[in-house]
Amino acid sequence: MSRKGRKVLKKIGRILLLVPVLLLSAEIRFVASIDRTEVEIGEPVILTVIVEGEDLGQIPYPKLPDLPDFNIGGTSTSQSTSIQMAGGKSIRRQLVNFIYTLYPRSVGETVIGPCELELSGEVYRTKPIGMKVVKGGAVPGQPKSAQAPLPSVSGDDVNGNLRLSAAVNRRSVYQGEQVVVEYALYTRLRLADMSLGELPSFNGFWVEPIFDAQRIEFQRKTIDGVLYDYCQLKKTALFPMSSGQLRISPMKLNVAVLQSPRDFFDFFGTTKTVVIESDPLVVNVIPLPVEGRPGDFTGGVGEFSIVSSLDRTSSEAAEPITLTVRITGSGNIKLVERPTIPDIPGVRILDPEINEDVRFAENRIQGYKEFNYPLIPQTDGEHAVPAITMAFFNPEERRFETVSTRALKFVATQTSSAVELAQSGGLKVTGSDIRYIKPDVKRLSSQPMSAGWWLVFPYMATFVMLGASILYRRHQARLISDRAYARKVRSSKLLKIRLNEVKQHLMKNREKEFHAALSRVLLGYIGDRYNLEVGALTNEGIIQELRVRQVPAETIKDLEYLFNQCDMRFSPGMKCDDPRMLYEKTKALIAKL
Amino acid sequence: MTAALTYAFLVFLQFGLNSTESYRRGNAYYEQGKYSEAIVAYEQASKEINNGGVYYNLGNSYFKRGMLGKAILNYRRANFLSPRDSDIAYNLNFARNYRVDKISSAQSPFMNLLSEVLHSVSLFEAQLLTTILFMVSVFFLSVLVVYRRKAAVYMLAASIFICLFFFISWLSWRAEIEGSHAVVVAPEVSATSGPGAEYKEILLVHDGAEVSVRETRGGYALFQLPGGVGGWVPTDALEYIF
């Protein structure tokens, strides 16, 4: 092949290699745009970065270029996915808009640099966008650039003519103490439309709404000599449930501001949507003191009083009486738990029914919480409901206070008949009497009052049993660990068997076998008794060993005699002594050993 | 020896027969409504034999005669021998509700339940069962000592637990006996602040009040009611339950 031909092939190869890359890159659209190229200082510029493609999976946030000339005031994303069927294949198209609100900081020409997106190893870049920032219009005001560059401090908008304010009445409270948070809109602009972007989140608070605007109705209000249209949007009482720094995230509003017409033909004017958000709020919550916390503290923080009452003063036939304990006051009344009712002897106290009602007055959540306890008398007579106490924390005084009710009394009658009536299933009980005597019996058995002195025997028996078991256990343990002991124990059993054998031979007058067996008895027993390897020793050796073990000389002599007699079976013609005598002697010897 | 045994048996039988005899007589009187005669017969029977039924019938007879103190006393004795007898428990409770002095026991429901459970066996039964369970426990302990089986541990724990229950029952009965419990049998008696009629009267008690005697001195006894109040009364105004 010629050189040129090779070059062509290389080129084709390169193109072929590029094809999949091209295909892939063709699938992703990554562009940035701004809503206008010329803005006044303080006005927002909306930068939209679009990522579009097929089966992209999780799309990361694009990396914005350094924007020294802008403050970034809020980010939002919108995403749409469509699934198309094409050629039996489903294609998932994704479109993500990343929307940034930018506030120019200085006047002049500026460039928004390329945004970067890294997706499955590839890096995509948008084109840089140029724009122009011009001086502010008629309304004088603090330029945005003078503000701190925090994005969250973007409540001031459109040169301070539009503001969403958030305020708490107190920055530092006790846990459970009331905080009122208020959101209001201030504007000097004509607003065409308004919608809620995001509600503030009150994590860590018990929320008691006070006011939620249903309609936007502006009132006039002068602040620092400037007249604003003012509208209260939301007012809520919050009761912190935990201590520490609790953060309330800002509220966000989308406001369409009416622009003044540019020329005659722009008759209706244009609107411009701005996102305004309130400042985030932080409330410092102090935990309630642990010291001096009374036992009957039920979580109340504020100022409360307690009253108890009975709906009747007498109960017939175990009819329930309602004990009402009412806690009235201001504070976290809904969080107050039920006070403990002391036990009333002869009265059953059922679980209470709870009523509550709160309203907002004099800048406080106030109201009552009522616990209705049904009391069921179990015994006749006058029952006293003791004073019920409740402790709460008074944040004004910074101490716990205890309030209590007065003691009450009621009279119960005919409780037992009611119980009987209930038990007999609605039968009419006309009277009551003791039960009849026990009938005749054939023989009366005497029932002992208590057991006699003989009761000690079983206990003694148990000690014997326990002692025996411990001894047996020790014996077992020794059998395993102590070889000599094991041999000794085994020998007594073997001895019996062997002696029996000897006796059998003796009875049947089999002299030879008798002597052999007798020898086995002696050797075996001595071996086990003194833990000797008798098989490896001669008779003299055994006797030597026994002497070492200080066996009495007389016994050894007997043993020697027996050994000799047994050995006589090997020398024919020699007459042994009487086998019966030998047998008895052996037994006597073993007893001695 | 045999003769002596036979004699003993005959004596025993005689007693048994006698008490059965007086018991029958008492029942007959009771049926006829002759409660005073029934009381005499039952008292005779109760001297000869220790039986919950006899005390129960005696209590009934006293109750019918309106002698509440004596009735409660005998129901208590019957209850001691046969604690699971519902008739006895019912009549004891019934008689208690008839008392003039309403003494509410300040015991919590839990304590009442506990006492009821512990007193579901009589003292004798508690003693026997404690002993048997003790033997069973020692048996399992022995099994554990010898065989070292895990199952024996569980059995041992279970038997010790049950044994302890009966032992506590035993102790609680003993405490009851040693608490010198008595019942006021005089229809109405004034308690004084010291052992003698010359002391100041401080309390009026009626028959049926169940008290515990703290001490006796010269024919007077210092009693205490469950609530803690008490005073001195002549000893014949009271009768010990045990």
Tokens of A440: 């005749």
Q: Name, of A237-246, A309-318, A401-410, B47-56, the range with top average pLDDT.
A: B47-56
Q: Is the pLDDT of residue A318 over 80?
A: no
pLDDT of residue A126: 86
Interatomic CA distance for residues A385 and A380, integer angstroms: 15
Interatomic CA distance for residues A362 and A53, integer angstroms: 59
| Complex ipTM value | 0.78
Are B50 and A448 a contacting pair at CB < 8 A? Answer: yes
Contacts of A466 in chain B (CB under 8 A): 138, 141-142, 145
Higher pLDDT, B201 or A11: B201
Higher pLDDT, A434 or A317: A434
Q: Is the pLDDT of residue B12 over 60?
A: no
pLDDT of residue A341: 79
Interatomic CA distance for residues B160 and B152, integer angstroms: 12
Q: Is A374 helix (H, G, I), strand (E, B) or coil?
A: strand
The answer to whether A560 and A542 are in contact (CB under 8 A) is no
Are B30 and A437 a contacting pair at CB < 8 A? Answer: yes
The confidence band for A88, taking pLDDT boundaries of 50, 70 and 90, is low
Interface probe for B, chosen from A435, A441, A447, A457 (most Cβ of B below 10 Å), is A447
To the nearest whole Å, the CA of B3 is away from the closest chain A CA by 24
Contacts of A441 in chain B (CB under 8 A): 20, 23, 53
pLDDT of residue A587: 78
Secondary structure letter of residue A453 according to DSSP: G
Residues in A 98-117 with any Cβ partner in B closer than 8 A: none
Contacts of B19 in chain A (CB under 8 A): 444
Amino acid (one-letter) located at A515:
H
Q: Taking CA A347 as the corner, what is the angle to CA A341 and CA A351, rounded to the nearest 5 degrees?
A: 50
Which are the contacts of A381, defined by CB distance < 8 A and separation ≥ 6?
A346, A411, A412, B102, B104
CB atoms within 10 A of CB A168: 16
pLDDT of residue A21: 44
To the nearest whole Å, the CA of A415 is away from the closest chain B CA by 12
Residues in A 255-314 with any Cβ partner in B closer than 8 A: none
The answer to whether B172 and B115 are in contact (CB under 8 A) is yes
pLDDT of residue A147: 32
Q: Residue B30: closest CA among chain A residues belongs to which residue? A: A437
Cα dist. A547→A233, A524, A525, A555 in Å? 117, 18, 16, 10
The residue ranges of DSSP E strands in A516-585, in sequence order, are: none
Secondary structure letter of residue A197 according to DSSP: E
Tokens of A43: 């006005």
pLDDT of residue A429: 59
Average pLDDT rounded to a whole number, residues A67-72: 78
Chain segment A148-179, per-residue pLDDT in tens? 332 333 333 465 677 788 888 888 888 888 88
Are B53 and A432 a contacting pair at CB < 8 A? Answer: no
Are B145 and A470 a contacting pair at CB < 8 A? Answer: yes
Rg (CA), chain A: 53
- A322, burial (CB in 10 Å: exposed 0-12, middle 13-18, buried 19+): middle
Rg (CA), chain B: 22
Average pLDDT rounded to a whole number, residues B65-77: 91
Chain segment A208-254, per-residue pLDDT in tens? 888 777 777 777 777 777 777 888 888 888 888 777 888 888 888 88
Average pLDDT rounded to a whole number, residues A348-376: 80
Q: Is the pLDDT of residue A24 over 80?
A: no
Average pLDDT rounded to a whole number, residues B88-115: 80
Contacts of A458 in chain B (CB under 8 A): 131-132, 134-135
* Size of the A and B interface in Cβ pairs below 8 Å: 110
Torsion angle in degrees (nearest 10) through CA of A338, A339, A342, A347: -40
Torsion angle in degrees (nearest 10) through CA of B20, B26, B30, B33: 150
Q: Residue B50: closest CA among chain A residues belongs to which residue? A: A446
To the nearest whole Å, the CA of B35 is away from the closest chain A CA by 12
Contacts of A435 in chain B (CB under 8 A): 60, 87, 90-91, 94
pLDDT of residue A373: 83
